[in-house]
Amino acid sequence: MTKLAFITGASSGIGRATALALAEAGFRLVLAGRREERLQELARKLSHVPTHLLTFDVRDQAAVEAAINSLPPDFQEVDVLINNAGNAHGLAPIQEGNPQDWDDMLDGNVKGLLYVSRAVLPAMTRRNTGHIINIGSIAGYEAYANGNVYCASKAAVASLTKCMRLDLLPHSIRVAEVNPGAVETEFSQVRFKGDTERAAKVYEGFEPLRPEDVADVIRFMVTRPPHVNVAEVLLLPTAQGAATTIRRT
Q: Of these residues, 115, 141, 144, 150, which one is catalytic?
A: 150
In this structure, are residues 78 and 6 in contact, taking their beta carbons and an 8 Å threshold? Answer: yes
Distance CA 46, CA 40 (A): 10
Distance CA 69, CA 62 (A): 10
Total count of residues recorded for the chain: 249
For residue 210, CA distances in Å to 15, 42, 172, 213, 240 come to: 12, 18, 32, 5, 14
State the pairing for strand pair 245-246/240-242: antiparallel
| Catalytic residue flag (residue 203) | no
For residue 238, CA distances in Å to 26, 41, 155 come to: 30, 32, 23
State the pairing for strand pair 28-33/51-55: parallel
| Phi, psi for 41 (deg, rounded to 5) | -65, -40
State the catalytic residues: 150
